């Protein structure tokens, strides 16, 4: 099988670098979530937040669109804090939306550099200020308590996606895929949006289909595309499965309040 052949010649050093950048991206994402929680009056320690985020990743492996982890976070935080369920839900939901916004912004940039030419390609960047302004208007008029952290959450969201792009870049290097890098990164970002949708378990399947059809459209090698997608899923699964520790030892998830806020 071509994919197994590709893996058999993969470079372990590059894979370890990919893993490292993926971990950093998740630490940044957890810090971003903590900003949302603090904005609604939930002041938990950074250590507890990281534990909760890791457990959420574990649950996300088994339920469509990653709703399992978010559902558990909402349940636990609502149980421990005197904050309305609705407010916690919107904090986690907007946290996810901020990630999608960042994906869309970077996709708008990369669309200019992919090898396939499409109509009005040079005008794609015009969507960037429109997207940012639209997001700000929604936050300002419907979730005003997030307005003070608007700039921070967008910067962190972009950093999350950039670190994941670097992670994907090192996967490409590890499997000796050196051509059309921008095209592969572009498909990865598209697949990340698809993986968020509640249509597959842990995003597996949906991401691979996106890579398959995307590679056909961009004229890329399907075996490299699928190998890239599966390797990224394996890396995600490795980190996510470590969250089982907190599932088996719930005492480790005792709430630690951050009194320095």
Lookup result for tokens 């996967």: 171
pLDDT of residue 251: 66
Residue 166 lies in a domain: yes
pLDDT of residue 259: 47
pLDDT of residue 241: 86
Residue 252 lies in a domain: no
Number of domains in the chain: 1
| Structural domain range at position 217 | 2-39+97-239
pLDDT of residue 158: 95
Residue 12 lies in a domain: yes
Residue 248 lies in a domain: no
Residue 92 lies in a domain: no
Residue 72 lies in a domain: no
Consecutive 10-residue averages of pLDDT for the chain (261 residues): 75 93 94 93 86 83 64 82 88 93 91 76 80 94 93 95 95 87 88 70 62 77 83 88 74 58 47
pLDDT of residue 229: 85
Residue 126 lies in a domain: yes
Predicted confidence (pLDDT) per residue in 147-169, tens digit: 999 999 999 999 999 999 999 99
pLDDT of residue 98: 94
């Amino acid at each position: 099988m071509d994919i197994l052949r590709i893996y058999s010649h993969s470079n372990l050093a590059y894979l370890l670098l990919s893993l490292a950048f993926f971990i950093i991206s998740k630490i940044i994402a957890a810090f971003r979530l903590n900003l949302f929680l603090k904005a609604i009056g939930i002041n938990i320690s950074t250590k507890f937040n990281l534990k909760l985020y890791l457990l959420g990743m574990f649950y996300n492996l088994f339920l469509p669109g990653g709703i399992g982890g978010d559902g558990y976070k909402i349940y636990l935080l609502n149980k421990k804090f005197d904050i309305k369920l609705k407010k916690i839900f919107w904090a986690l939901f907007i946290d996810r939306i901020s990630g999608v916004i960042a994906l869309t912004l970077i996709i708008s940039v990369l669309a200019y550099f992919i090898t396939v030419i499409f109509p009005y390609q040079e005008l794609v960047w015009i969507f960037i200020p429109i997207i940012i302004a639209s997001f700000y208007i929604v936050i300002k008029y419907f979730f005003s308590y997030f307005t003070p952290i608007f700039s921070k959450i967008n910067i962190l969201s972009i950093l999350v996606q950039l670190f994941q792009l670097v992670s994907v870049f090192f996967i490409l290097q590890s499997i000796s895929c050196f051509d059309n890098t921008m095209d592969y990164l572009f498909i990865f970002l598209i697949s990340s949006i698809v993986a968020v949708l509640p249509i597959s378990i842990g995003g597996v399947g949906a991401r691979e289909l996106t890579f398959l059809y995307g590679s056909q459209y961009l004229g890329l090698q399907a075996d490299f595309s699928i190998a890239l997608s599966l390797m990224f899923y394996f890396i995600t699964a490795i980190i996510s499965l470590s969250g089982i520790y907190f599932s088996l030892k719930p005492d480790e998830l005792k709430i630690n309040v951050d009194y320095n806020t």
